[in-house]
């Protein structure tokens, strides 16, 4: 289960307020060490005063390391300079804190230590360790924060790249389809066919769909099926009685959504390889079944004699089919399965995918490698 903050949440507004976050950090730091040191002899007041007073030296030291040494040396990969200057800074801060204790805090709070030797090794070592720990802690926070933002930026850039690629692939679908359809229309006009006006009307309806519906990330499955029916009608006009096409749909289609023009490339390929050959009678069988949120789409077509030796790799090599495979990877990622079967007399494509509903959205995910067979 992932935890996600709402944009207007109090926690998120707090985290976005850097001065407030820094103040909260130092308050927590003083409370933690004040309570820890004060618990030794139940003198919490003295412990809190001492910890708060040390901030006069620790604050400049910490921000010098964070915004000067790390930015100037560590992030520039000048590691020797960084560790040298950081060590010197901690030594200077340690001596400054010991002097502050010796001349400022000892007289009012620790009078028994007034006049003692300043150079007491364990006291300097204790202060050095405390100061060194603080520097390590704030450095770790800064580095983790930088790493997190770099990961978020990389993820955002990758998503933008995938979005751009998806838009490009969608834009390629339109001219590919129009090229094929206009070729069909050209063939009919050469024959002075009476079906040419009907083709123009069907093409107009299809272009309307492409212009106004496919700009969306998803469309209703019913619209996509209607679009396919228009395409099949065009192919029936082109090939006439020699073409036998069946398109069966079953299941509850209401409220189901799909990426636009996702199924058409498989149908186009079936006509390209199964209908445009030399067979006197050719056929294409389409079957679309929906059960709950699962779609099973099957496209099977006859093979002409001239394609008897056609390899499945050739079948897969069309522009439209390449694009739709990439779109499946980008949009559905692990929520689809695509198989292409090369039989002696037929080609069979079986696509299974998880559909979105009208209340869900299709999002672009980071694609994983998928082997299609």
| Residue 135 and residue 61 in contact, taking contact as beta carbons nearer than 8 Å | yes
pLDDT digits (tens, 9 = 90+) for 225-249: 988 888 888 778 777 777 888 999 9
Instruction: Kindly give, in sequence order, each residue whose CB lies less than 8 Å from that of residue 85, ignoring residues fewer than 6 positions away.
Output: 69, 73
Share of the chain above pLDDT 70, in %: 78
Q: Does residue 289 have a pLDDT over 90?
A: yes
pLDDT digits (tens, 9 = 90+) for 291-301: 988 999 999 98
Rounded CA-CA distance 40/251 in Å is: 74
Q: Which pLDDT value is given to residue 79? A: 92
* CA distances to 6, 79, 319, 326, 339 from 265, in Å: 40, 56, 9, 12, 14
Tokens 């069988």 correspond to 285
User: How sure is the predictor about 124, in pLDDT bands with cuts at 50, 70 and 90?
Assistant: confident
Give me the chain's average pLDDT, please: 80
Query: Does residue 213 sit in helix, strand or coil?
Result: coil
Decide if domain 165-357 falls under CATH 3.40.50.300.
Answer: no
**CA-closest candidate to residue 355, choices 301, 308, 291, 305:** 291
**Domains of the chain by residue range:** 10-119, 165-357
CA-CA-CA-CA torsion for 200, 201, 207, 211, nearest 10 degrees?
140
Kindly state the tokens that stand for 181. Answer: 């359809």
User: How sure is the predictor about 206, in pLDDT bands with cuts at 50, 70 and 90?
Assistant: confident
Residue bearing the bigger pLDDT, 359 or 333:
333
| Residue 298 and residue 350 in contact, taking contact as beta carbons nearer than 8 Å | yes
**CA-closest candidate to residue 163, choices 327, 354, 334:** 327
Rounded CA-CA distance 191/170 in Å is: 33
Instruction: Kindly give, in sequence order, each residue whose CB lies less than 8 Å from that of residue 56, ignoring residues fewer than 6 positions away.
Output: 100
**pTM for this entry:** 0.53
Q: Which pLDDT value is given to residue 195? A: 72
Rounded CA-CA distance 297/249 in Å is: 9
Q: Which pLDDT value is given to residue 9? A: 65
Rounded CA-CA distance 362/218 in Å is: 7
User: How sure is the predictor about 38, in pLDDT bands with cuts at 50, 70 and 90?
Assistant: confident
Q: Which pLDDT value is given to residue 297? A: 96
pLDDT digits (tens, 9 = 90+) for 159-180: 766 666 666 555 555 565 667 6
Q: Does residue 323 have a pLDDT over 70?
A: yes
């Amino acid at each position: 289960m992932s935890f996600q903050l709402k944009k207007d949440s109090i926690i998120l507004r707090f985290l976005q307020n850097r001065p407030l976050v820094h103040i909260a950090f130092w308050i927590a730091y003083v409370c933690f060490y004040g309570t820890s040191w004060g618990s030794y002899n139940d003198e919490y007041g003295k412990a809190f005063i001492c910890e708060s007073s040390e901030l006069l030296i620790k604050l400049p030291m910490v921000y010098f390391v964070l915004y000067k040494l790390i930015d100037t040396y560590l992030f520039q990969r000048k590691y020797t300079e960084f560790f040298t200057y950081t060590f010197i800074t901690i030594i200077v801060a340690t001596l400054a804190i010991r002097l502050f204790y010796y001349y400022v805090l000892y007289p009012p709070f620790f009078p028994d230590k007034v006049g003692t030797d300043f150079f007491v090794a364990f006291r300097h070592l204790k202060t050095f360790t405390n100061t060194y720990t603080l520097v390590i802690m704030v450095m770790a926070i800064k580095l983790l924060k930088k790493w997190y933002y770099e990961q978020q930026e990389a993820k955002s850039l990758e998503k933008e790249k995938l979005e751009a690629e998806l838009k490009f692939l969608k834009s390629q679908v339109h001219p590919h389809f129009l090229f094929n359809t206009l070729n069909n229309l050209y063939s009919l006009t050469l024959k002075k066919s009476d079906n040419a006006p009907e083709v123009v009307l069907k093409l107009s309806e299809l272009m309307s769909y492409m212009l106004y519906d496919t700009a969306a990330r998803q469309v209703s499955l019913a619209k996509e099926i209607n679009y396919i029916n228009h395409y099949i009608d065009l192919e029936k006009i082109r090939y006439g009685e020699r073409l036998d096409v069946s398109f069966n749909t079953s299941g509850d289609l209401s409220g189901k959504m799909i990426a636009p023009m996702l199924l058409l490339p498989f149908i186009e390929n079936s006509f390209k390889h199964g209908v445009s050959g030399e067979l006197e009678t050719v056929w294409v069988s389409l079957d679309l079944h929906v059960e709950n949120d699962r779609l099973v789409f099957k496209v099977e077509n006859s093979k002409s004699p001239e394609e008897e030796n056609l390899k499945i790799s050739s079948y897969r090599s069309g522009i439209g089919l390449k694009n739709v495979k990439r779109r499946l990877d980008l949009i559905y990622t692990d929520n689809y399965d695509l198989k292409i079967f090369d039989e002696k007399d037929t080609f069979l494509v079986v696509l299974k995918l998880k559909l979105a509903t009208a209340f869900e959205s299709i999002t672009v995910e980071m694609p994983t490698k998928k082997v299609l067979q």
